[in-house]
């Protein structure tokens, strides 16, 4: 059993505007396994948050995770994935379905909302990608 914690963040400057995602994967000891930041083109904040979540799930699977703890600072996205909020936006519905499908192979997963300050590493990667500090 391999349990990983995945912090995700997405952001757009302009909403919609230039957007990027940030993903930080930690092992059960809290050690960083991978950091990933990339620009994703023009998107809204919510689309960027979902794209970050999807990338985080993909990367965790590549690292052999069987259990996931997802952590994000978008209350809307966290509550939608938990099933507490309905997904009303037509542009978000396919991304939400994709996240649910991506989570299906895992033995267990959870998602929780944190304040932006508690998601600083992922937030930093988003801003670095938007500022052109990261390439890919």
- For 54, half-sphere exposure in the C-beta direction (CA atoms, 13 angstrom radius) is 18
Per-residue pLDDT reduced to its tens digit, 20-69: 999 999 999 999 999 999 999 999 999 999 999 999 999 999 999 999 99
Which of 73, 78, 69 lies closest to 117 in space, CA to CA? 73
Per-residue pLDDT reduced to its tens digit, 68-114: 999 999 999 999 999 999 999 999 999 999 999 999 999 999 999 99
| Structure token pair of residue 94 | 């396919």
CATH of domain 13-23+35-130: 3.30.420.10
| pTM over the 0.75 mark | yes
For the chain, what are the domain ranges?
A: 13-23+35-130
């Amino acid at each position: 059993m391999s349990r990983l914690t995945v912090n995700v963040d997405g952001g757009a400057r302009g909403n919609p505007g230039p957007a990027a995602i940030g993903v930080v994967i930690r092992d059960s000891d809290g050690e960083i396994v991978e950091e990933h930041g990339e620009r994703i083109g023009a998107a809204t904040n919510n689309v960027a948050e979902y794209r970050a979540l999807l990338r985080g799930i993909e990367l965790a699977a590549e690292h052999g995770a069987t259990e996931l703890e997802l952590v994000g600072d978008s209350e809307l996205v966290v509550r939608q994935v938990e099933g507490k909020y309905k997904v009303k936006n037509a542009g978000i519905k396919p991304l939400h379905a994709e996240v649910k499908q991506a989570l299906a192979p895992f033995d267990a997963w959870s998602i929780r909302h944190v304040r932006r300050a508690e998601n600083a590493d992922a937030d930093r990667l988003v801003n670095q990608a938007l500022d052109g500090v990261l390439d890919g």
